[in-house]
DNA sequence: AAACCTTCCAACCGCCCCTCC
DNA sequence: GGGAGGGGCGGTTGGAAGGTT
């Protein structure tokens, strides 16, 4: 038992929600005397609370410089950017957001941002694409797609399941698709040192120069909307009408992930599982799979017989 | 209208680190 | 050096509020 935890065990000390009267006592005392020693503060302030409870109430709620209300887009961007660098260091993140407390940011992350990233197919821990789930989707596709993607591309290296999953998703998540931009995406992924080996440049060039082997789905594509990893201007705010690949290979797509936020259970609910370093709930996985299984391969303009 | 479900967030909890003696 | 005290931090919980059936 840690020493500080004794705080919560002391009999006679009140727990639970603070009353307006308690708040007033605490504010009055701190305004007069400051908050040097939290342990003795409640005694002098006439509060039947432990010092730790007083400190939390002050820092998370009563402090006069606390900003209330919804997080702005800029604040949300700041949080995501900071989190991608320093992780769950809420106090450090809070230091970048004047008026926001670490607790508030932590809550906002868990209730909004985390879910948003998951819906986008981004691991909220690593901020990388969730290839684990993409692989799951591949294994769940009992029937192969209506065309043989590796054969279609004449790219043996795409037989790498990771790459195949990514490529499949790239294709399936796009309402719009054309060969040149897909190739550009691959080239950029390759150049940006995606962990898995990608196409040799010679093969990329070959594909680039032989677009006829790729079906033209008759639309333009936004797959190659690269953006720097630290440029979070479009980090989900437009619901990602287009898939996006970041410079470090991070990829997100609006067709990967989960259903509406209203259908997702709290992330700390029971029934969680651990997949490749990220925890997901049964509901999330089910939701993800249901989405996966409805992958919509745009078939218009595709001559399947060519690949038979 | 009521029961049930989901979301949200204030507060709790326990661990850790720093300082002091 | 090491034990005690104080405070900070991140994870988790529980209940209120709102939404849905």
Distance CA A262, CA A266 (A): 10
Residue A221: pLDDT over 70: no
- Averaged pLDDT, A149-162: 36
**Confidence band (pLDDT; 50, 70, 90) for A270?**
very low
| A17 CB closer than 7 A to any strand B atom | yes
Q: What is the mean pLDDT of residues A142-166?
A: 38
φ and ψ of A284, to 5 deg: -60, -45
Closest residue, by C-alpha, to the C1' of C3: A3
Angle between the N-to-C axes of helices A161-172 and A131-140, in degrees from 0 to 180, rounded to the nearest 10: 80
Tokens describing residue A84 = 């991608």
- The correct CATH number of A69-131 out of 3.10.20.90, 1.10.8.640, 1.20.58.340, 1.10.10.60 is 1.10.10.60
Torsion of CA A45, A47, A51, A55, to 10 degrees: -80
Say which range, A39-43, A175-179, A222-226, A264-268, has the weakest mean pLDDT: A222-226
Distance CA A205, CA A197 (A): 16
- Mean pLDDT for A192-203 is 35
Q: To the nearest whole number, what is the mean pLDDT of chain A?
A: 55
What are residue A280's phi and psi, to 5 degrees?
-130, 155
Examine domains A11-64 and A69-131 and report if their fold is the same: yes
Question: CA A3, C1' C1: Å apart?
Answer: 20
What's the CA–C1' distance between A23 and B3, in Å? Answer: 36
Task: Give me the percent of chain A exceeding a pLDDT of 70.
Answer: 38
Q: Per-residue pLDDT tens for A297-308?
A: 333 333 333 333
In chain A, residues 207 through 266 whose Cβ sits under 7 angstroms from any atom of nucleic acid strand B: 261-266
CATH number of A11-64: 1.10.10.60
Check if residue A1 sits with its Cβ under 7 angstroms from strand B. Answer: yes
Q: Give the nucleotide at minimum CA-to-C1' distance from A262.
A: B6
pLDDT of the residue at A129: 75
List the structure tokens of A287. Answer: 């939701």
Measured distance CA(A295)–CA(A301) in Å, rounded = 17
Q: Work out the average pLDDT over A12-21.
A: 82
pTM: 0.54
Q: Where are the domains of chain A?
A: 11-64, 69-131
Per the model's pLDDT, the better-predicted residue between A85 and A196 turns out to be A85
Whether A189 shows a pLDDT value over 70: the answer reads no
Helix, strand, coil proportions of chain A in percent (round to 5)?
A: 50, 5, 45
Is residue A130 within 8 A of residue A123, CB to CB? The reply is yes
The separation, in Å, between residue A26 CA and nucleotide B21 C1' comes to: 31
């Amino acid at each position: 038992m840690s020493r500080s935890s004794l705080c919560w065990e002391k009999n006679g000390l009140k727990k639970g929600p603070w009353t307006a009267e308690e708040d007033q006592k605490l504010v009055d005392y701190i305004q007069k005397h400051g908050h040097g020693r939290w342990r003795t503060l409640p005694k002098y302030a006439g509060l039947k609370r432990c010092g730790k409870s007083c400190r939390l109430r002050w820092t998370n709620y009563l402090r006069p410089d606390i900003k209330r209300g919804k997080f702005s887009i800029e604040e949300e961007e700041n949080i995501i950017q900071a989190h991608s660098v320093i992780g769950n260091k809420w106090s450090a993140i809070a230091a970048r957001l004047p008026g926001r407390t670490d607790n508030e940011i932590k809550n906002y992350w868990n209730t909004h941002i985390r879910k948003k990233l998951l819906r986008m197919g981004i691991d909220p821990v690593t901020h990388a694409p969730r290839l684990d789930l993409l692989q799951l989707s591949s294994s769940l596709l009992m029937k192969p797609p209506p065309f043989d993607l590796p054969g279609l591309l004449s790219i043996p290296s795409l037989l790498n399941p990771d790459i195949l999953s990514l490529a499949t998703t790239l294709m399936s998540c796009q309402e719009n698709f054309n060969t040149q931009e897909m190739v550009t995406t691959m080239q950029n992924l390759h150049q940006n040192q995606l962990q898995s080996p990608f196409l040799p440049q010679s093969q990329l060039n070959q594909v680039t120069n032989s677009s006829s082997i790729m079906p033209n789905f008759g639309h333009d594509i936004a797959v190659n909307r690269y953006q720097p990893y630290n440029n979070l201007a479009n980090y989900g705010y437009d619901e990602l009408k287009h898939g996006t690949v970041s410079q470090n290979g991070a990829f997100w797509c609006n067709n990967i992930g989960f259903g509406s936020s209203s259908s997702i259970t709290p992330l700390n609910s029971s029934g969680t599982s651990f997949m490749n370093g990220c925890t997901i709930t049964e509901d999330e996985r089910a939701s993800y799979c249901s989405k996966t299984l409805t992958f919509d391969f745009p078939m218009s303009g595709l001559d399947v017989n060519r690949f038979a």
